[in-house]
Structure 1
Amino acid sequence: MWRSIASNALTLLIVAMFLLGGVILWGQSQYKAAGPLADAICVKVERGSNMRRVSGQLEAAGAVTNGALFRIGADYAEKSQQLKAGSFLVPAGASMEEITDIVTRGGASTCGTEVVYRIGVTRATVQVRELDPATNRFVDVVSFEPAEAEAPEIFTKVRAQSDTRYRIAMAEGVTSWQVVDVLGKIDLLSGEVEVPAEGTLAPDSYEISEGDTRASVIDRMQLAQATAVEEIWAARDPEVPLSDPVELLILASIVEKETGVAEERRQVASVFANRLNRGMRLQTDPTVIYGITKGEGTLGRGLRRSELQRETPWNTYQIDGLPVTPIANPGRASLEAAANPDTTEYIFFVADGTGGHAFATTLAEHNRNVAKWREIEAERANQ
């Protein structure tokens, strides 16, 4: 009898073990299988949260089918205690295993709200943007100019959130003074910084965090520009009339200020290269303007005849060759155009009314283009 009982108990134990093994294998397959999400979502993990709370959020959002199984899988992977605060993008079809990795990996938030400090040529703005998980694109919530208006309530609200991300977006053609001016007004940053040499900052987007120093941001901008200049200078056309990387920066900054049309940068650069090769003065208005403002803001009006006639180290109507320094911070495309201009005979250009320019090889042709531009100006003034 006892032998029979023992035999039955052993049989039950073996069956139970097989069943448990089957349950474990089923659980593992469910944990690693594609999840039910049809569209990406943003999951916010609050500071001090735990796996139980997060699994409840995920289950409610339809990202996981079983919150308990999600927690067991995280425990088994020894990640339950590695939860990170922030807002994280969970893609469509993400498995429980993938979601566990996303919310425990750490690093910057991958979705949610971001504040962008935009440094533009004519104005500085602050944008609050929200990521749309379905499209993985940021949508503008509010935009304002700090110099013109008080910060809206939504900006104050997101500034108080721990998972808000911050970026500085520096446009091509802004001056070093403009960059430092904006950095000085961003309360996330600390410390003082001198205005760096003109042209040495790379226009780009830079992630920043609470407590970063202004000097560290400038260092990143300068390193990026120095790297780009070194690379582009090494690949330059050997016939380009530039003696060193500083002259490359100077010419690129003039190209940057003369045109915003990507397709004509190399043509504009060719005009200045041709003039330098022929010993002609560059005669470009942006250099005259820089001699007046020294990059501290915009002129805000047209040039006067007396200003065109006044000699400064930047007035290319009055001096030979390039000005003494860059007149702005050029972007990579303008650097590449200056290093490898188109091969043309152009020595003149003027606005054509479309946002671009009309190019000419002779003064007579140029004068006709100028006359057309004057007609366009007159028509616009009468509208």
Structure 2
Amino acid sequence: MVLANALIGGGRQIVARLLDWPGPLAEATDVVVPHGSSDAVADALAAAGIIRDSRLFRLALLIDRGGVLHAGEFAFPAHASLRMVIDILREARPVEHHVTIPEGLTAVEIAALLERATALSGPLPMPIPEGSILPETYAYPRGLARSALVARAQAAMQAALAAAWAGRAPGLPLETPEQAVVLASIVEHETARPEERPLIAAVFFNRLRAGMRLQADTTVVYAVSGGKSSLARKLTRADLATDSPYNTYHVQGLPPGPIDSPGLAAILAVLHPAASDALYFVADGSGGHVFARTLDEHNRNVAHWRARESP
């Protein structure tokens, strides 16, 4: 009996040493560990080169009954010991993947982006309502359903919009938060300079109050491109005459819906416009815009811009 206990004790010591030996993995790597029995987990780890022997892994689990092994994608460092591998499977967080949805993408473009995110799974809920997603970087574990990420991004938009709407400036000619998103989606594409967004929002509000058409080129792009945010060519006069409810050269007031997914900064610019009486703006040739109160002033600015653009 004493001899048997000694042999068992000696065996445990040997296994304990084996638990801390450096493993065979040459470089740090991420491995998807499946749901299932310890045998299935051991086989997956051995196939990925994380451990040398699946039988020793199972023996180590019999000796160290410290907790449940989790499935998922985990990061394993180079030469991770058996003990380290077991600790990772019990305590580590799964690998996080990230997808960045830039400001100003249309629903069609967002859908294509999410389809390319190979760590996501399943189909997209189609169609995605235009302007319903908050542009942001989203972290997620491998295998998350695309529909779940879309729902999360839509909930983020609703929360951000509700807070922004509650703190909006008084007297804006907007009836609903949704209208704020519509105008913000236009502002988003009219300038790349954050400091200009409140000024451009002010121009559009001034035009709405004056009964003028918005005449935003970006709405025409959306109308003639089939729901995209850009064209591979310049707009033409024929484009500006396109019969579409999204063509703000053709229709009065706001279009019936957003033309992209605006970022929170554009929404806040619309809900807190600059104090300005400008009715017009045109590119200044250096990435910004020149603003004008009268048509004559605006025409001079346009002529100056065209002269700068001429070869």
Both structures adopt the same fold (TM-score exceeding 0.5)? yes
Question: Is the alpha carbon distance of 1:183 and 1:339 closer, same or farther for their aligned partners in structure 2, counting shifts above 3 Å?
Answer: same
Indicate yes or no: 2:111 matched with 1:180: yes
Question: Is the alpha carbon distance of 1:321 and 1:352 closer, same or farther for their aligned partners in structure 2, counting shifts above 3 Å?
Answer: same
Indicate yes or no: 2:93 matched with 1:107: yes
Give 1:318's match in structure 2, choosing from 250, 256, 265.
250
Instruction: State whether residues 180 and 193 of structure 1, in contact with CA within 8 Å, keep that contact through their aligned partners in structure 2.
Output: no
Question: Is the alpha carbon distance of 1:345 and 1:305 closer, same or farther for their aligned partners in structure 2, counting shifts above 3 Å?
Answer: same
SS across alignment from 1:199: coil
Give the corresponding residue for 2:5: none
Quick one: which amino acid aligns to residue 360 of structure 1? A
- For residues 229 and 165 of structure 2, the distance between their equivalents in structure 1, rounded to whole angstroms, comes to 29
Give the corresponding residue for 2:295: 363
Q: Whose strand proportion is higher, 1 or 2?
A: 1
Give the corresponding residue for 1:73: none
> 1 or 2 for the larger relative contact order (CA 8 Å, sep ≥6)?
2
SS across alignment from 2:274: coil
Question: Is the alpha carbon distance of 1:325 and 1:105 closer, same or farther for their aligned partners in structure 2, counting shifts above 3 Å?
Answer: same
- Deviation of the 1:327 alpha carbon: 0.5
Give the corresponding residue for 2:45: none
Instruction: State whether residues 107 and 131 of structure 2, in contact with CA within 8 Å, keep that contact through their aligned partners in structure 1.
Output: yes
Q: Could you say what the CA RMSD is over the residues aligned between the two structures, in angstroms?
A: 2.7
After superposition, what is the alpha-carbon deviation per residue over 1:52-83, rounded to whole angstroms, capped at 9, x for unaligned?
xxxxxxxxxxxxxxxxxxxxxxxxxx998799
- For residues 44 and 343 of structure 1, the distance between their equivalents in structure 2, rounded to whole angstroms, comes to 55
Give the corresponding residue for 1:125: none
Give the corresponding residue for 1:252: 184
- For residues 156 and 233 of structure 2, the distance between their equivalents in structure 1, rounded to whole angstroms, comes to 33
Instruction: State whether residues 79 and 104 of structure 1, in contact with CA within 8 Å, keep that contact through their aligned partners in structure 2.
Output: no
Give the corresponding residue for 1:234: 166
- Deviation of the 1:103 alpha carbon: 10
Give 2:157's match in structure 1, choosing from 216, 225, 229.
225
Question: Is the alpha carbon distance of 1:87 and 1:245 closer, same or farther for their aligned partners in structure 2, counting shifts above 3 Å?
Answer: farther
Give the corresponding residue for 1:339: 271
Question: Is the alpha carbon distance of 1:367 and 1:256 closer, same or farther for their aligned partners in structure 2, counting shifts above 3 Å?
Answer: same
- For residues 254 and 313 of structure 1, the distance between their equivalents in structure 2, rounded to whole angstroms, comes to 14
- For residues 169 and 223 of structure 1, the distance between their equivalents in structure 2, rounded to whole angstroms, comes to 16
Moved more, 178-187 or 254-263: 178-187
Give 1:328's match in structure 2, choosing from 255, 260, 267.
260
Quick one: which amino acid aligns to residue 293 of structure 2? T
Q: What is the TM-score with the length of structure 1 in the denominator?
A: 0.58
Number of corresponding residues = 243
- Deviation of the 1:251 alpha carbon: 0.4
Indicate yes or no: 2:123 matched with 1:191: yes
- For residues 191 and 131 of structure 2, the distance between their equivalents in structure 1, rounded to whole angstroms, comes to 17
Write out aligned runs for 1:1-383 (5 A): 85-86=74-75, 105-109=91-95, 165-188=96-119, 189-296=121-228, 298-378=230-310, 382=311
- For residues 320 and 202 of structure 1, the distance between their equivalents in structure 2, rounded to whole angstroms, comes to 27
Unaligned runs of 5+ in 2: 1-26, 34-40, 43-63, 78-86
